[in-house]
Amino acid sequence: QVQLVESGGGLVQAGGSLRLSCAASGPTFSTYAMAWFRQAPGKEREFVAHITRSGTRTDYADSVKGRFTISRDNTKNTVYLQMNSLKPDDTAVYYCAARRALFDNTLKVTTDAYNYWGQGTQVTVSS
């Protein structure tokens, strides 16, 4: 099993930047595909970004493409989400998610594809 702990959320003005981190426990981090999701008040949790086990491929929701960058450091058991040009619509609780991807490293955008979740970190963008 893997445990995930997010950090880096906060309050930022529109146009600003934040960098979220997700630290994972356990020695097998490199066998997990990782993703970020977010959930705004009254809305369903939605896919934001995905990264494969080795970090060679990344995918993004259309709403964040060109503004957000997902990356990972397997030596530090950490995945990051760099968020630039933030908008008020980006306000949400951001969750890190992991799924074991030994045999299927392809993009998954639904919440039911992920076995492990962090507790979430709040991101608030003021206008």
- DSSP letters, the chain, are ---EEEE--EEEETT--EEEEEEE-STTGGGEEEEEEEE-TTS--EEEEEE-TTSS-EEE-TTTTTTEEEEEETTTTEEEEEE-S--GGG-EEEEEEEEE-SS--S---SGGG-SEE---EEEEEE-
- The yes-or-no verdict on residue 106 having pLDDT over 90 is no
54: β partners: none
The widest CA-to-CA distance across the chain, in whole angstroms, is 44
pLDDT at 27: 80
- The yes-or-no verdict on residue 104 having pLDDT over 90 is no
Mean pLDDT of 71-100: 97
pLDDT at 26: 80
pLDDT band of 103, cuts 50, 70, 90: confident
- The yes-or-no verdict on residue 98 having pLDDT over 90 is yes
Shortest CA distance to 114 belongs to which of 33, 25, 20?
A: 33
Query: Considering the chain, what is the average pLDDT of its residues?
Result: 96
The residue type at 91:
T
pLDDT in tens, 10-63: 999 999 999 999 999 988 999 999 999 999 999 999 999 999 999 999 999 999
Contact predicate 2/90, CB 8 Å: no
pLDDT at 25: 94
